[in-house]
Amino acid sequence: MSFHTLAWKGDRLVLLDQTLLPGAEVYREYTDYRGVAEAISGMVVRGAPAIGVTAAFGIALAARELGRDGAEELCRRLEPVYETLLATRPTAVNLSWAVERMRRRAEGLVGRPGEEAIEALEVEALAILREDVAANRRLGRLGAELLPTRATVLTHCNAGALATAGYGTALGVVRAAVEAGKQIEVLADETRPLLQGARLTAWELLRDGIPVTLLTDNMAGYRLGRGGVDAVLVGADRIAGNGDVANKIGTYPLSVLAREHGVPFYVAAPLSTIDFSVEDGSRIPIEERSGLEVTHWAGVPVAPAGVSVWNPAFDVTPASNVSAIITEAGIARPPYRESLRLLAQASPAP
Ligand code: MRU
């Protein structure tokens, strides 16, 4: 991969600033968890798995700052750190998944000296990073088998290397299919309001030499109706126990269109995106972001001053519209309450 979404340099975290893509490739360094939290809420880094991995390194950085007096004291001092990181973005469950995993690791170190706890938390964050890439590669290979040898795939938002520690989920499936010798063309929805499809998906696929055609969100229905699209393939921010899927706003209408036109609708996500504590999609918290993201582009108004705006960042696709959920442990098919549980049980917890 010719770029790094995030990289750990031993004493600092380096993030590719995604707010500046595709215009500029700028890497920013973070040595403090507060800066990391701002990077997540400001979407310097975004995409559910990438947010989780970044938060883990935020905790590793906080441990360096707060850990000198032993693990027990560190655990106490980390509580507000967890709160700060968890408050950044509510929908992607990978964030709380990673924070809880780091918390468990820290609590398991009680009684150990500070230096040991600091190192152990760094090692844990690195493990989360490595496991994310490995999960993406594995789910990519499994998902690639669902695609025909020549396939046109429609995707929404960015569920690629930029949204993960590397390789991607939905785009990981595309990459694995290409690596397996399949001819894949990607149709990338622009993804209003922040244009993750245009700015990020198109950028990273062009970087890899994978054919990509950009369309605005409102063109997807016409394109699906004309035929020749073999699959809709998206990522997820949180999957409820019943298989309902929260993903970037605009995913739900795409699932309705896919169903209408008989096109399979696949969701690719690691097991860390499944939240069994949430019964169904109606319980998933949906982030609402500033109306300025809708009324302005690059600081230029595109709507009259004073208009009221609703800007939910995600929507929920009902499980009934999802043909399959591709995970690193296997491919789940309806009914998801059973199939997702079986996959999670078959995969040993880290
Ligand atoms: O608001 P974003 O850019 O963080 O939203 C990202 C998405 O909706 C992705 O599709 C999702 O996180 C899956 S990323 C592998």
> What ligand 1 atom has the least distance to the C-alpha of 248?
8
Q: Which of 5, 17, 158 to mutate to test the pocket of ligand 1 (most atoms within 8 A of CB)?
A: 158
Q: Which of 157, 189, 233, 328 to mutate to test the pocket of ligand 1 (most atoms within 8 A of CB)?
A: 157
* Angle between helical axes of 71-86 and 114-144 (0-180°, round to 10): 40
What type of residue is 154?
L
Residue 325, Cα to own-chain centre: how many angstroms?
A: 15
> What ligand 1 atom has the least distance to the C-alpha of 170?
15
List, by residue number, the catalytic residues: 237
pLDDT, one tens digit for every residue, the chain (350 residues): 789 999 999 999 999 999 999 999 999 999 999 999 999 999 999 999 999 999 999 999 999 999 999 999 999 999 999 999 999 999 999 999 999 999 999 999 999 999 999 999 999 999 999 999 999 999 999 999 999 999 999 999 999 999 999 999 999 999 999 999 999 999 999 999 999 999 999 999 999 999 999 999 999 999 999 999 999 999 999 999 999 999 999 999 999 999 999 999 999 999 999 999 999 999 999 999 999 999 999 999 999 999 999 999 999 999 999 999 999 999 999 999 999 999 999 886 66
119 Cα to the center of ligand 1, angstroms: 30
HSE-up of 137 (CA within 13 Å, CB side)? 9
CA-closest candidate to residue 51, choices 282, 328, 227, 313: 313
CA distance 333 to 324: 5
Q: How far is CA 180 from CA 121, 219, 229, 235, in A?
A: 37, 30, 20, 21
> What ligand 1 atom has the least distance to the C-alpha of 200?
3
CA distance 60 to 54: 10
CA-closest candidate to residue 49, choices 38, 40, 62, 36: 40
246 Cα to the center of ligand 1, angstroms: 9
Closest residue by Cα to atom 8, ligand 1, is 248
Q: Is 0.95 topped by the overall pTM?
A: yes
Q: Which residue has the tokens 């992607």?
A: 92
Helix (H, G, I), strand (E, B) or coil at 198: helix
pLDDT at 350: 62
Residues enclosing ligand 1, CB less than 6 A?
46-49, 92, 157, 159, 163-164, 169, 196, 235-237, 247-248, 313
112 Cα to the center of ligand 1, angstroms: 37
pLDDT at 349: 62
pLDDT at 301: 98
Cis geometry, peptide bond prior to residue 350 (ω within 30 degrees of 0) = no
> What ligand 1 atom has the least distance to the C-alpha of 160?
15
**Which tokens in the block code for residue 114?**
């500070």
Length of the chain: 350
> What ligand 1 atom has the least distance to the C-alpha of 46?
4
347 Cα to the center of ligand 1, angstroms: 24
pLDDT at 254: 98
Q: Which of 43, 93, 248, 311 to mutate to test the pocket of ligand 1 (most atoms within 8 A of CB)?
A: 248
Q: Which residue has the tokens 């468990």?
A: 104
Closest residue by Cα to atom 5, ligand 1, is 47
